Structure 1
Amino acid sequence: MENIDFINWIIIGIPFIFLLGCLFHFIYTLSGNITLIGIISPVNESVWEHLKLAFYPILIWGIIQCCILNKFNKFNLETYVISLAISILLAIFFILSFYYISTGAFNIHSVIWDIFSFFLSITFSQLISIYVYENIIPSNRMFSISLFILLSLAFIFTVFTFIPPKYPIFKDSTTNKYGT
């Protein structure tokens, strides 16, 4: 019964994460460039900033899911945090892979493809998180590393929003500038 509830929440989360990620694409501009909003949403059109579209919606959905399922004792927190961290890392990996393979190898520059590959990345990463949750044997060390990864990613996304390194992944493709 525990896994059925978890699986249902993951499946329900896919469209939620996708739609929230799509909304996050626009909220910085719509907010009038509020700094706090820029921490969780892209401040420019760089590849790096667009990774926030997966990171924060997956994290937000994960916190929502965690609060609800924990209230009913329907899951194992340690295992969940490990699967959440893996899901986020995989979403980032899939987004980067789809983007660089399509643009670099096939010279595809399409908003439709970008949106579709974002949806695929979210879907693949969430489905793999189900497998991880059902099959991993958690340890305190894995749990600690997973928490460290989640906190580090939030910190890095925040710092690189305002002080981005001068590498192509951080360059705004429309203005050729870095950061806000």
Structure 2
Amino acid sequence: MPRLSWKLLTAFVAVTLAGACLHFVHDFFPNPAVGLIAPVNESIWEHLKIIYWPFLAGVLLLCRRGGRDCLGPWLLALLAICGAMLAAGYLYHVTAGGDSVAFDVGLYVLLMGAGFLLAAVFNGPAVRQRTDLLLLLTIALGGAMLLFTFLPPDHVLFTDLSGANTWQVIPY
């Protein structure tokens, strides 16, 4: 495994801080345009935005000179950490009834770090050959986030979990 470069470390810190700041943007600028990239409520699904958009921006900056071969592993890592965010959020908030901000912040930082590590793990010819498919899946996930911002399905992943003891009122 290659050594951690300053470029990657700086990108990790910038992407992680950008996502953390993005969490509060809609509170300060509540409008539909901001809601497309920032969480509009405390649902598990809306919190994908704090991972997806900053990580994608970081990937595009990191791969701007690497060409098409550079993108595949990063896109697969992005899809993997988004899936992990949904799964962990569901298990913790819905199944276990957890309501800890410390857990949420820790999970967020852990998943961002995992994304940077997974990109190195996934960096192989099999993944690079599937860059087009991974790009389509990444675009589809982004499109779903945009669509579900305005038309969220009636499902627990889209339920606003803000407030005290929300686990008691989660619809099953």
Using structure 2 for the length normalisation, give the TM-score: 0.84
Say if 2:73 is the partner of 1:83: yes
SS of 2:63's equivalent in the other structure is helix
The answer for the alignment partner of 1:120 in structure 2 is: 110
Structure with more helix by fraction: 1
Given the alignment, which residue of 114, 131, 148 partners 1:160? 148
With over 3 angstroms needed to count, the CA separation of the structure-2 counterparts of 1:166 and 1:104, relative to structure 1, is closer
The answer for the alignment partner of 1:170 in structure 2 is: 158
CA deviation string 1:40-84 (max 9, x = no partner): 1101111100011100010111122223xx1xxxx3x22322112
Say if 2:32 is the partner of 1:35: yes
| Distance in 1 (alpha carbons) for counterparts of 2:89 and 2:135 | 27
Say if 2:140 is the partner of 1:143: no
The answer for the alignment partner of 1:62 in structure 2 is: 59
| Distance in 1 (alpha carbons) for counterparts of 2:125 and 2:91 | 30
| Distance in 1 (alpha carbons) for counterparts of 2:118 and 2:6 | 14
Amino acid at match of 2:133: I
Structure 2: stretches of 5+ with no match in the other structure: 167-172
Aligned identity (percent) is 22
Following TM superposition, by how much is the alpha carbon of 1:8 offset from its aligned partner in structure 2, in angstroms?
Answer: 4.6
Using structure 1 for the length normalisation, give the TM-score: 0.80
Range 51-60 or range 107-116, more displaced? 107-116
